Amino acid sequence: MRTQLLALIIISVICCSASYAQKPNVYDPPMIHVEGGTFLMGNENGNSDEKPAHKVTVNSFYFGKYEVTFSDFKKFIDATGYLTDAEQPDTFRLKNGLPPRGINNGTWKMDSKGILVSLSDTMKPVGNVSWNDATAYLGWLSKATGKKFRLPTEAEWEYAAKGGDKSKGYKYVGGNNLNEVAWYGGNSDNKSHNIGLKMPNELEIYDMAGNIREWCSDWYGETYYKTSTADNPAGPDRGKQRVLRGGSWGSEEGRMRISYRNYEFPYNSALGFGFRPAITDEAAIKKAAPKPADDLMKDFDSKGFIDIYGINFDIGKATVKAESFPVIEQITSYLKEHPQVRIMIEGHTDNTGKDASNMTLSDKRAQSIKAEIIKLGIDAGRMETKGFGSSKPIADNKTAAGRTQNRRVTIKKL
């Protein structure tokens, strides 16, 4: 009996050890809850791409208390063997129109002189990461933790930088004395520093004013503020470069204002490029979302179709945003009440891009809605999808409101 018990204990220890060994050594970053609200985004006294200053509302979300460190990023590399854009062979770089990388360009694990990062520097924010590298890290972290990490939108970044609903209207992130809140060109000794050494802002978030410039999820648009939606703007539908916000250890004082915008190709990196994570507060968004009229589907039987404008779509991820779940639920309820009905989900978009891109976007819009309805228990065979691109506009595409209407979804009865 004692022998059998000992054998069971040994087997249990082996199984537990194997299970533990399979779990990646993941650093689950501390996150700050940012209560949603409305603020004035941009700066009438800034550069042309900071104008006009305009009111923007953002939903509640979670934001990284600190920038992602070298130590954090190394865990990702060790677990996956990922090769960053800066480490790619010259054949890859030339394919993307970039010159060959020499050792002086550096990578995430070395400085501009080719010197490897020392163990004493592992709590510095990781640099030399591209937008692609940042999103790859966050994708890995999401799978490893079960949380939905992502980059912040530019609007979320600026809202958090200004202190959110606790803002005191400081000139810089966290205060009016730049030396107290940021590592920048005037005090950094031309290098980054360990996270959390300067004063945090009103939300207890550190280093947004400097230390490392941070990637956002948005495509960059020089004139985007002129046509930006007021509700949770996420940047242009398409572009060539991605947004970077916040100053870095090498930035001059004039570039340290909260509203200052920067941008770069998503596959490019530099020592001053880093990032911090964000997570959508889906529960709060769904709770606060305006409920669609109970009779959203009332004309469906008589007309055979309905146009829906209230479905917010995350183009980068090709998914429906949380605030639109109530609309999805109502469509699903109708299908459950009418089990014999089959539908066509048509996606439409505006004509601000090329035809091929418009077709892809509109098709993804339709497919994302189908995917959410399937999650709620409707058989995939009852739905078809089709993208129409910008071929069927119903409003003036020259206005923000018109473009919103053109980016609609039509549900048709088959």
Helix (H, G, I), strand (E, B) or coil at 142: helix
DSSP 377: T
pLDDT of the residue at 316: 57
Residue 331's H or E segment, with its range, is helix 325-337
Least confident of 53-57, 92-96, 410-414: 92-96
Contacts of 347 by beta carbon, 8 Å cutoff, 6+ apart? 361, 362, 363, 364, 365, 366, 367, 369, 385, 386, 387, 388, 409
DSSP 103: G
Interaxial angle between packed helices 325-337 and 355-375, expressed in degrees from 0 to 180 and rounded to the nearest 10: 60
Query: What's the rounded Cα separation, in Å, for the pair 354 and 359?
Result: 9
Q: Where are the domains of the chain?
A: 31-282, 289-413
Q: Is 62:279 a contact under the CB 8 Å cutoff? A: yes
Query: What's the rounded Cα separation, in Å, for the pair 199 and 145?
Result: 29
The pLDDT tens digits for 93-150 are: 677 766 666 544 578 988 766 778 887 788 999 999 999 999 999 999 999 999 999 9
Tell me which fold the domain 289-413 belongs to: 60s Ribosomal Protein L30; Chain: A; (3.30.1330)
As beta bridge partners, residue 23 has none
Contacts of 224 by beta carbon, 8 Å cutoff, 6+ apart? 49, 233, 235, 236
Helix (H, G, I), strand (E, B) or coil at 82: coil
**Rounded (10°) CA dihedral 378, 384, 389, 394:** -70
Distances (CA, A) of 77 to 25, 134, 140, 193: 11, 12, 10, 22
Residues of the chain with pLDDT > 70, as a percent, come to 85
The pLDDT tens digits for 213-231 are: 999 999 999 999 998 989 8
Q: What are the start-end ranges of the E strands in 187-256? A: 213-219, 242-245
Q: Is 85:101 a contact under the CB 8 Å cutoff? A: no
Residue 325's H or E segment, with its range, is helix 325-337
Instruction: Compute the mean pLDDT over every residue in the chain, rounded to the nearest whole number.
Output: 85
Tell me which fold the domain 31-282 belongs to: paralog of FGE (formylglycine-generating enzyme) (3.90.1580)
pLDDT of the residue at 99: 63
pTM surpassing 0.85? no
Q: Is 310:211 a contact under the CB 8 Å cutoff? A: no
The pLDDT tens digits for 243-287 are: 999 999 999 999 999 999 999 999 888 899 999 999 999 888 777
Q: Quick one: average pLDDT of 77-93?
A: 86
242-245/61-64 β-pairing: unpaired
Least confident of 5-9, 177-181, 184-188: 5-9
